[in-house]
Chains A and B, each alone.
Chain A
Amino acid sequence: KQEVTQIPAALSVPEGENLVLNCSFTDSAIYNLQWFRQDPGKGLTSLLLIQSSQREQTSGRLNASLDKSSGRSTLYIAASQPGDSATYLCAVRRNTNAGKSTFGDGTTLTVKP
């Protein structure tokens, strides 16, 4: 059974700092890995999708990497801003297109002005 772990559960940083969020998974037979952002009381917003054949994806100040062999993904946020404060979740999809996804519990990020 796939298990997804996100450490730390919470992180507080000053504005402008670069930071890394971690996601680890136990079964490397994955189809893709997706990073989401969730604001309080809201739904999940997709940030980055990494297919199993890819090593990284970038969007603006965000960069996500994937290392299947070690069962790890990182989300790098450059020059953090207070507006980045949210909970960040990773989801790992089984190795079929419609396979079930397993979500981590998320890392709650607070960026202080």
Chain B
Amino acid sequence: NAGVTQTPKFRVLKTGQSMTLLCAQDMNHEYMYWYRQDPGMGLRLIHYSVGEGTTAKGEVPDGYNVSRLKKQNFLLGLESAAPSQTSVYFCASSYSRLARAGEQYFGPGTRLTVT
């Protein structure tokens, strides 16, 4: 049981380049989330998904797109990277039912630098 995994762990991009961050979970969770963590700003929600094929905007969605084609995977895309997107990106997932509904489990993070 690997929990929540993220690929890649580190990445350096040049302004204007694109990339996709992959999140995978093996806990059969319905809900998945993408956050970014920045010094002094805390953790902020980018996009989230309540099930396969559905996505919704979070607090800071601009410049990002997401897809949830399979229940276990949640992809975060940057179409044209900007220096303001330099951050640590975390994926999380959670149960939808039972006593521990809403408990979030986090991946190890992806450290992205945009130059």
A-side interface residues toward B, CB under 8 Å?
Answer: 31-32, 34, 36, 42-46, 49, 51, 89, 91, 93, 97-101, 103-106
Contact = CB atoms under 8 A, between A and B. Distances in A.
B34 to A, nearest CB: 12
A98 B103 contact: no
Given A93-B102, A105-B42, 11 more contacts: A34-B104, A44-B90, A46-B104, A49-B100, A51-B102, A97-B101, A98-B48, A98-B96, A100-B45, A101-B45, A105-B40
B106 A32 contact: no
A42 to B, nearest CB: 6
Contact of B106 (A45, A49, A51): A45
Instruction: Please classify how large the interface on chain B is, using the bins under 10, 10 to 19, 20 to 34, 35 or more.
Output: 20 to 34
B48 A43 contact: no
Contacts of B102: 31-32, 34, 49, 51, 93, 97-99
Interface of A is mostly: strand
B108 A100 contact: no
B27 interface: no
A98 B50 contact: yes
B104 A91 contact: yes
A46 B105 contact: yes
B96 A43 contact: no
Contacts of B108: 42-43
A98 B92 CA distance: 12
Interface in B11-46: 30-31, 40, 42-43, 45
